[in-house]
Amino acid sequence: MNKFTVKDGTEIYFKDFGTGQPIFFHHGWPLSSDDWDAQIMFFLDKGFRVIAHDRRGHGRSTQTATGNDMDTYAADVAELTAFLDLKDAIHIGHSTGGGEAIRYAAKYGRDRISKVVLISAITPYMIKDENNPDGVPLAVFDDIRHNTLTNRQQFYHDITFPFYGYNREGADIKKGIQDNWWRQGMMGGIKAHYDCIRVFSETDFTEDLKSVDVPVLVLHGDDDQIVPYATTAVKANELLKNGKLIIYPGFSHGMPTTEAATINKDILAFIQG
């Protein structure tokens, strides 16, 4: 197992396969690097070096009680990418990982990144307030907190239905995908997962998006029941200096898994463009 110890002693698990231009993957809450299987195999076959880590408190990394905030997440990535000496890298983030990717790019990545991809991402920010009247109400995140704290085992099963659009009429439900989501979630630490709910709901990435100069591809499904596209992807693209937006009709939040062929093709075209 590859593990790298960051400055506060937290061990970060990571995968590092292949050679060539590096692609670094940032996973969503409460998952792990395993959620990128379809992308890792696709881009490895295309000749890229592929790297994916388990965020602190998630997967096989240390189950941390501290440092569960976006600045620390990005700093962990900066330490790991420096250790691996990644240059000219493409950073791809899904959901919470999209926030992590753009925060890393803005604060640390200027000399190391070439492009960024945000998939179903939480950027610029999620929560409803006076500046974001169409955002998600606080009560929704309080419910996620309550269920994570008191009912995590069942909640991590139930949330897979809206996550993958399996609650839609005619959905092709794959229990293996649901079980894999549950498995990844239960590998992580409850304290880190609980803390991360505030991170993905309340962190403001407006200035990060404005400051990134490299090309950024923004991908989102218009049937995303977890991160509504109109208040995230559309607004994020408007803030970017060099953004490209693709909205997929009918795609769910979990589209990197359920629609991997389409997502991978569009990312590859962006990288090669």
Quick check: pTM over 0.85?
yes
Which pLDDT value is given to residue 114? 98
Between CA 50 and CA 73 the distance in angstroms is 19
Tally of CB atoms within 10 A around 206: 15
H helix or E strand, kind and range, residue 86: none
pLDDT 10s digits, 219-253 = 999 999 999 999 999 999 999 999 999 999 999 99
Say if CB 227 and CB 122 are below 8 A apart.
Answer: yes
Domain hosting 229: range is 2-272
Number of H helices, E strands in the chain: 12, 8
Say if CB 128 and CB 137 are below 8 A apart.
Answer: yes
Between CA 30 and CA 226 the distance in angstroms is 13
Q: How confident is the model at residue 81 (pLDDT cuts 50, 70, 90)?
A: very high
Output the CA–CA distances (angstroms, integers) from residue 260 to 95, 154, 254, in the order listed: 15, 27, 9
Backbone angles phi, psi at 251, to 5 degrees: -80, 145
Q: Which residues are catalytic?
A: 95, 224, 253
Average pLDDT of the chain to the nearest whole number: 97
Which pLDDT value is given to residue 38? 98
CATH number reported for the structural domain that contains residue 62 in this entry: 3.40.50.1820
- Which residue in 263, 266, 273 sits closest to 242, CA to CA? 273
**Which residue type occupies 85?**
D
Q: Tell whether the model's pLDDT for residue 53 goes beyond 90.
A: yes
pLDDT 10s digits, 82-108 = 999 999 999 999 999 999 999 999 999
Per DSSP (E only), the strands in 73-146 are 89-94, 113-119
What tokens appear for 241 in the block? Answer: 């200096």
Q: Tell whether the model's pLDDT for residue 128 goes beyond 90.
A: yes
pLDDT 10s digits, 186-225 = 999 999 999 999 999 999 999 999 999 999 999 999 999 9
Q: Percentage helix, strand, coil, to 5, in the chain?
A: 45, 20, 35
Which pLDDT value is given to residue 66? 96
Say if CB 233 and CB 129 are below 8 A apart.
Answer: no
Q: How confident is the model at residue 46 (pLDDT cuts 50, 70, 90)?
A: very high
Q: Tell whether the model's pLDDT for residue 124 goes beyond 80.
A: yes
Burial (Cβ within 10 Å: 0-12, 13-18, ≥19) of residue 172: exposed
3-state secondary structure (DSSP) of residue 24 = strand
Rounded average pLDDT over 168-185 = 98
How many domains does the chain fold into?
A: 1
Which pLDDT value is given to residue 131? 87
Which pLDDT value is given to residue 33? 98
H helix or E strand, kind and range, residue 109: none
